[in-house]
Amino acid sequence: MADITHPPMEQLQDLEYCIDSNPPWAETILLAFQNYILMLGTNVMIPSLIVPAMGGDNGDKARVIQTLLFVAGLNTLLQALFGTRLPAVVGGSFAYVIPIAYIVGDSSLQRISDSHERFLHTMRAIQGALIVASSIQIILGYSQIWGLLSRFFSPLGMAPVVGLVGLGLFQRGFPVLGECVEIGLPMLILVIGLSQYLKHVRPFRDLPIFERFPVLICVTIVWIYSVILTASGAYRNKPMKTQISCRTDRANLITTAPWFKFPYPLQWGPPTFSAGHSFAMMAAVLVSMVESTGAYKAASRLAIATPPPAYVLSRGIGWQGIGVLLNGLFGTSTGATVAVENVGLLGLTRVGSRRVVQISAGFMIFFSTLGKFGAVFASIPIPIFAAIYCVLFGLVASVGLSFLQFTNMNSMRNLIITGLSLFLGLSIPQFFNEYWNPARRGLVHTNSEWFNAFLNTIFSSPVTVALVVAVFLDNTLEVEKSKKDRGMPWWVKFRTFRGDNRNEEFYTLPFNLNRFFPPT
């Protein structure tokens, strides 16, 4: 034992700025802008998939993207100020795609012949479903029920859950990169080269620019390269799928986006409500809640904070429910969740500052109102983002696996739980995804469409499946005998807000609000 040089550590030691320490202002602003650029990938991709299916044109798509970015800025700011207070960006979520596809395919909406009218009525139906479904997160969060449930979590149970927050997104990595390999592969090599091999090179003063701003530098270089390829006619006679993935002028966002547009609630008209739509959407809300819980655990570790106590976790889930409600009121076409890529960026840049994320929320709000300027950045080809995801999703996955250091991995019980939850967490969603498409509606296809969408959504989420398997096994197999092996002696002090005196430093509400909302 005397030869062990790397004992288990509650907090990472090689990050330069923690949650409540801040880089110089110029560096902070550039880091915030880098966070904004990174979150564009998912928040442009989701409306680009959903809006055409709803009957919307390019102008509608541009407005939905603007609205989604605007609400993402609001949600990020609310979460950083009053929620978990972790440096986590809250944006759009792919967890809502299956329920939304169910709503889009509703026969009453499909009968509308005019495409624009069908888009408006579909958007209102999605809004109504989001507004009703948001109540699940709001209730589970503010009632502290989710916090009580989190007391069944252990380091052993959370390791595969947080790990699959990153690993479960593998289909958005190299498969998307490969859709335009001449752009994506150079981007991947460049990101790894600058952020890892050249991170100690400091051409300007003592600032490690390659480690701090790899996304900004690499995106700029490869984006210019892709513009040159597009302008030179390299994709002129290529298949349509290649042109959509590679060209910088195929999205039609810049030409269709207004110069100035301020998103406002109910801008698409009054929401419509349907019990079936709402029940289907509740599955996505539950999935996004589980995924966000894993992302919060990863963000706390990468921000050199203690694991969020049950009270703080519930508070964050409650505010995320408010975020889903805002998504429904404004009409963003999807709900809210923590952006995993931005969590990974905390580790890549070694900066876990809360202020950086708060300022990035300002960039989201600002550029979403200036449509043309925001559309310029939103026109970056998706394979460029996919290359970054390969690095950042992998980093988040490894953070999840780092929780295993607090457990006894020489225990056959622990090995079985970890392996089974990781394998089933990947295998079951893959099985369900193979059967899902908008026409067949998934593996579960009873006469009740909302029931189909509910179950297909739950079992298509790697993180949700891993949570069910890992937490169930961890709390039913030789529980009393294995407390120490599960890592509970380390975890138990972080269950309550007052269990560790560092919690006050990281999670206390601003503006002296703790007087009115005392932690438990």
Which two tokens mark 369? 């109102």
Q: Do the strands 336-338 and 90-92 form a parallel or antiparallel pair, or are they unpaired? A: antiparallel
Residue 199 pLDDT: 85
Nearest to 295 by CA among 425, 452, 480, 166: 166
The answer to whether the CB of 298 falls within 8 A of the CB of 396 is: yes
Indicate the range of 122-131, 344-353, 511-520 predicted with least confidence. 511-520
The answer to whether the CB of 497 falls within 8 A of the CB of 507 is: yes
- Average pLDDT of the residues in 180-191: 92
Q: Which of helix, strand or coil describes residue 469?
A: helix
Q: What is the pLDDT of residues 208-254, one digit of tens each?
A: 899 899 999 999 999 899 888 888 887 787 787 777 788 777 656 66
Residues in CB range of 404: below 8 A, 6 or more apart: 155, 156, 159, 418
The CA-based diameter of the chain, rounded to the nearest angstrom, is: 75
- Average pLDDT of the residues in 352-368: 93
**DSSP category for residue 194:** I
**pLDDT class for 463, splitting at 50, 70, 90?**
very high
Nearest to 488 by CA among 37, 156, 31: 156
Q: Which carries the bigger pLDDT value, residue 516 or residue 123?
A: 123
**pLDDT class for 501, splitting at 50, 70, 90?**
confident
Which two tokens mark 386? 């996919």
Residue 256 pLDDT: 66
Give the separation between CA 228 and CA 116, rounded to whole angstroms. 35
**pLDDT class for 325, splitting at 50, 70, 90?**
very high
**pLDDT class for 202, splitting at 50, 70, 90?**
confident
Percent of the chain with pLDDT over 90: 55
**DSSP category for residue 180:** G
Residues in CB range of 426: below 8 A, 6 or more apart: 164, 167, 168, 462
- Average pLDDT of the residues in 471-490: 87
Residue 372 pLDDT: 67
Between CA 356 and CA 67, with CA 461 as vertex, the angle to 5 degrees is 45
Residue 493 pLDDT: 82
Percent of the chain with pLDDT over 70: 93
Residue 317 pLDDT: 95
**pLDDT class for 437, splitting at 50, 70, 90?**
low
**pLDDT class for 48, splitting at 50, 70, 90?**
confident
Helix 275-302, helix 310-330: angle, nearest 10: 130
Confidence check: pLDDT of 142 > 90: yes
Confidence check: pLDDT of 316 > 80: yes
For residue 390, with 0-12 CB atoms within 10 Å meaning exposed, 13-18 middle and 19 or more buried, which class applies? buried
Where does 336-394 show beta strands of DSSP type E?
Answer: 336-338
Confidence check: pLDDT of 277 > 60: yes
- Average pLDDT of the residues in 276-301: 94
Give the separation between CA 306 and CA 440, rounded to whole angstroms. 45
The residues facing 92 across adjacent strands are: 336
Residue 358 pLDDT: 95
Mean pLDDT across the chain, nearest whole number?
A: 88
- Average pLDDT of the residues in 112-128: 93
Between CA 98 and CA 103, with CA 101 as vertex, the angle to 5 degrees is 115
Confidence check: pLDDT of 440 > 80: no
Confidence check: pLDDT of 514 > 80: no
Residue 404 pLDDT: 93
Q: Which of helix, strand or coil describes residue 90?
A: strand
Nearest to 436 by CA among 453, 423, 448, 421: 453
**pLDDT class for 505, splitting at 50, 70, 90?**
confident
Alpha carbon 348 to its chain's center: 16
Residue 257 pLDDT: 64
Q: Where are the domains of the chain?
A: 25-494
Confidence check: pLDDT of 432 > 80: yes
5 φ, ψ (degrees, to nearest 5): -100, -10
Confidence check: pLDDT of 110 > 70: yes
**pLDDT class for 4, splitting at 50, 70, 90?**
low
Burial readout 205-239 (b: 16 or more C-beta within 10 A, e: otherwise) = eebbbbbbbbbbbbbeebbebbeebbeeeebeeee
Give the separation between CA 382 and CA 399, rounded to whole angstroms. 25
